[in-house]
Amino acid sequence: MKMMSGKVAVAAALLLAQHVAWAADSVDEAREALQTQEDDVTQEKNLEEVFQAAEKQYSLLPSGQMSLNFSGNYSYYRDDRIDIAIDEDTGNISRFRIEQDAQHSFSSSLSVDYGIWNNLTFNTRLPVSYKYDTEKDVSQAALGDVSFGLRFQPFPVKPGAMNTTLYTTLSTPTGDSPYELNVREEVSSGSGYYSVGAGLSVSKVIDPVVLFGSLGYTYAFDVSGLNQVRGGEILTDVHPGDSLNFSMGLAYSLSYEVSLSASYQQSYNFETDFVFEDYTASSEDSTSSVVNTSLGLRTASNRIVNLSFGFGLTEDSPDVLLGISMPIDFSGLKPGA
């Protein structure tokens, strides 16, 4: 029984390898900042280094080997706002209405990993997104923020021991900046600023379950030299707030061809300062919490399709998250292909 249980754990490892007015404007930016960023540690990345080569000395890509993965995601946000105006002379309410704003977002990305050493992997991610905002009645397809990262495994994998991976990321503002467009008529596809992140992820196999978690911090660089009209004022500088994020979850194999996983992710964003020509305003700290579940299906000997579903627990989180990811193999791309 012990040997069969061990095989189930390895099957789970292989199956889950490739988962995982101005006041209103400032609220929108805080909400968008809390959407999953390209450099966030997701369930997919937490599992990747653990399961990619469960029986090898290191669980990252071997030196000189390359992998290409495709992922597609859909998210839905809904927000109800109260628009109220009070007459200064009488003190009576002259306008009271509830505005319903919903945003549909479709995104896809290609992720390329390359093994520099057996315990050091380089990654780059190229995202493309399509957004539709119901309140503005605006849709737009554009390139997102391209990111680069390194994942380092300081210690070889040992049976029964904790597996630890350190990571660092750089996100570049290649997408359409929310601070350089018409906020009433356009939607952004990027954050608008550079950011660097660092952290660690850990995992442990407790046959036949795999437990995993991560902790990271992202530093956001200031943006200056802006000339954007917001609520009748000119925005000149933005000081984005840093973010602290963590995640935890587990994976379980139902069979060699089917596996399930569940995770919880939370991100805490510190306040963002918006500098106008005449004054400075700040958004409050905010928190995003998301619960994710994934189903891994082996469709071929060398292909695993992962389907995921998630939902937000806070107002700053997406209401619905759907995703799909799979490896893409080209002849000659990988050694031995």
Cβ within 8 Å of residue 329, ≥6 positions away: 68, 302, 303, 337
Banded pLDDT at 135 (limits 50, 70, 90): confident
Overall pTM surpassing 0.85 (yes/no)? no
- Spell out the domain ranges in the chain: 51-329
* DSSP summary character for residue 167: E
Q: What is the pLDDT of residue 230?
A: 82
Return the CATH fold of 51-329.
Lipocalin (2.40.128)
Q: Is the pLDDT of residue 205 over 70?
A: yes
Q: Across the chain, what does the average pLDDT equal?
A: 79
Which contacts (CB < 8 Å, 24+ apart) does range 29-33 have? Answer: 29/178, 29/272, 29/283, 30/269, 30/272, 30/283, 30/284, 30/286, 30/316, 31/77, 31/79, 31/286, 31/316, 32/178, 32/188, 32/191, 33/191, 33/240, 33/241, 33/243, 33/269, 33/272, 33/286
Q: Phi/psi of residue 42, each to 5°?
A: -100, 170
CA distance 18 to 42: 11
Averaged pLDDT for residues 185-195:
91
Give the rounded percent of residues in the chain with a pLDDT score beyond 70. 73
Q: What is the pLDDT of residues 251-273, one digit of tens each?
A: 988 888 888 999 999 999 999 99
Widest CA span in the chain: 81
Q: What is the pLDDT of residue 158?
A: 81
| Burial of residue 72, with CB atoms counted within 10 A of its CB: 0-12 exposed, 13-18 middle, 19 or more buried | middle
Question: E strand or H helix at 48, and its extent?
Answer: helix 43-51
CA distance 149 to 172: 11
Cβ within 8 Å of residue 58, ≥6 positions away: 118, 119, 153, 156, 157
Q: Measuring CA to CA, which residue among 148, 140, 121 is closest to residue 58?
A: 121
